A and B are shown apart, each in its own frame.
Chain A
């Protein structure tokens, strides 16, 4: 199921929440990023039909989302906020959510059981939510979001408060859901983890869209920052001299302590193609080679001022 956003704007009196957003979210996992205050929460609320757009529209599979309860049956939402019905047990919470979706008692119980098991909360399901740790609350929120097998999932900081094991299994779960063809939108500040789950991102700041698409494609497009390549080898001087013979190398930095050099190249494809030959022809042993800024952290840093 696709999510189509067209000319979407939302303001509160004079304060702008999101400003003229246009994008499409395809099935698979999409990372949803932005600094605090960028408008992420507003956008999530618009996408889940909780807020009415001031202008423009949000459509899922061609149907407008606002005031459309039918389409929302196919949507699962794991919000960030921590306020809960603390007197309910985990089981009661998930079950009643399922009943609200219109399932029969038996179905609701079966689905709840399955979802709670997937989120590893079977042991604690009959204890009151008020006594849950942060990570446990997170898991039960996730359980409630996936129990009705939605085609679209919005997960706002789903790993928040979870321990490393939980993070690992939840990330695997999210990747699996993406592979199964669901449309999963994950919002998180821990970029390292977003990278593990997907290559596709949606980045907003100040209510506007900054970038959408594949991380590496986006990186290529940021031509104000040529790609950095760090090489650790046994003969830094000779290698540098040889590399500088080519005009795509914009700068070189040395780390003498670690026998490293870092170049910036504005034609990375050419650079990486010629590198092995240059090293071999000059008898240079390359110990390691990597790009320090070809990751989500760097892309975010470059794009968000």
Chain B
């Protein structure tokens, strides 16, 4: 159990940001999702001790968040969403500084900082002042300072923000790699659901300060049995007619995609036969899966309507 929270509440004056949430984040990587202002950032900040907890309790890796604040911060890493930098220092200086602040000796911190900087892809740039960094580099240095002390739990807040497509892929690869090799648990808060689908095993969805749903990505994206998404090129109309004659029901989805429900007992053979007969190119044939986005939109939409 990486993180366990019980009736966790955070208030800013009369605004309740986190409303008595009870949840557990097991080890592995967990995605934290929710609309803006839902309480995700507040939840993370509350766990890190960056804002005051109104009521309830929380423990990280077995340690109470209120009582063992400093001890917790030594074993977790935080990559904030904002562009946070230590002014005046070079890349290597900042990461070394972060390491020393966590309790590493100077020599350990220097050695480890270089290692981590190679990992995040900051080569020669590490000798430049961090104020001169581009947005992609700032993301990388934030990750580096969170990893230098080899934490057991890593909080990532919008890690791909501002990065170009290559940078995004590299960051996501990095997160996958860290999760696997570092034996550390990850909590990833992001609005980009594709990123979450790719890197997380589980998700927790928060709305209006309350937990809406939690479950494994696999379960949430449950496939519809017997339903396939297909794309063909050629005589599509003819293809559809043949399928319907064979007892399938076909609906047009977006972007030239077709959702085909097979009759009971039949396999994909039916689709192949139809394609062959109609003389079309069979370009795509996959089981229909509900994406995380579908789940999210549905859940939040329902919750919003319930509150109207």
Contact = CB atoms under 8 A, between A and B. Distances in A.
Interface stretch (B49-57, B69-77, B191-199): B191-199
Interface residues of B, number: 47
Interface of B: 33-38, 134-136, 161-169, 191-194, 233-234, 255, 267-269, 271-273, 275-276, 279-287, 293, 296-297, 300-301
Interface in A97-119: none
Given A190-B192, A276-B272, A280-B269, 19 more contacts: A36-B134, A36-B163, A135-B36, A135-B37, A135-B191, A160-B161, A160-B162, A164-B296, A165-B297, A166-B36, A190-B194, A199-B255, A269-B281, A276-B276, A280-B272, A287-B268, A288-B287, A290-B285, A304-B166
Given A35-B164, A35-B165, A133 B273 contact: no
Contact of A163 (B35, B166, B275, B285): B35
Interface in A163-200: 163-168, 189-192, 199
* A35, A285, A289, A297 interface centre (most CB from chain B within 10 Å): A289
A150 interface: no
Contacts of A37: 134
B267 to A, nearest CB: 6
A289 B168 contact: no
A221 interface: no
* B164, B233, B234, B255 interface centre (most CB from chain A within 10 Å): B164
A304 B34 CA distance: 33
9 contacts: A35-B165, A164-B296, A164-B300, A165-B297, A190-B194, A273-B279, A273-B281, A276-B275, A301-B169
A134 B36 contact: yes
A1 B135 CA distance: 34
A277 interface: yes
* B35, B136, B275, B283 interface centre (most CB from chain A within 10 Å): B283
A300 interface: yes
B286 A289 contact: yes
Contact of A289 (B162, B163, B193, B284): B284
A159 B37 CA distance: 16
